[in-house]
Amino acid sequence: MSFGNTVVAFPGRRENQIGFTREELTRILDLYGRMVAAGEWRDYAMDFAKDAASFAAFRRTAERPQARIEKRPALRNKQGMWTLFGEHGQILKRGHELPGVLAPMERRLLKSVDS
């Protein structure tokens, strides 16, 4: 049986649940893969709720996330729907565009590679 170009809903997904688009997830996982290759991250978790979707990256599984990227569409017309949180929950960057919000992590990756 071939699904072709048909998109099949994830089992158990609710209609009012926030998620990432394919392009957003590709961008986030690309950064994650490069951080894994640099030895910075080793695990990740995703959470999807009715008001926000988040991607958390961990140095070690048992710790709190080293970084968390959150998409909150309700803030789209305010400070931007994207937020990057640091290891202690501090807001590192907010914005309307995902690439701009990921920029601090991209710079960190460049420093890791240069070292």
Looking at residue 113, its pLDDT comes to: 54
What would the mean pLDDT of 39-52 be, rounded to a whole number? 92
Longest CA–CA separation in the chain, Å? 50
Is residue 115 pLDDT above 80, yes or no? no
In SS3 terms, the chain reads as: CCCCCCCCCCCCCCCCCCCCCHHHHHHHHHHHHHHHHCCCCCEEEEEECCCCEEEEEECCCCCCCCEEEEECHHHCCCCCCEEEECCCCCEEEEECCHHHHHHHHHHHHHHHHHC
Q: Is the pLDDT of residue 2 over 70?
A: no
Q: Is the pLDDT of residue 12 over 90?
A: no
Over residues 74-105, the pLDDT tens digits come to 988 888 999 999 989 899 999 999 999 999 88
- Where residue 17 falls among pLDDT bands split at 50, 70, 90? confident
Using one digit for the tens of pLDDT, what is the confidence trace for 50-79? 999 999 999 887 778 999 999 999 988 888
pTM given for the model: 0.80
- Rounded to an integer, what distance in angstroms lies between the CA atom of residue 68 and that of residue 57? 6
Residue spans of the domains in the chain: they are 22-114
pLDDT band for 3, please (50, 70, 90 cuts). Answer: low
In the sheet with 53-58, reading across from the earlier edge strand, the strands are 43-48, 53-58, 67-71, 82-85, 91-95
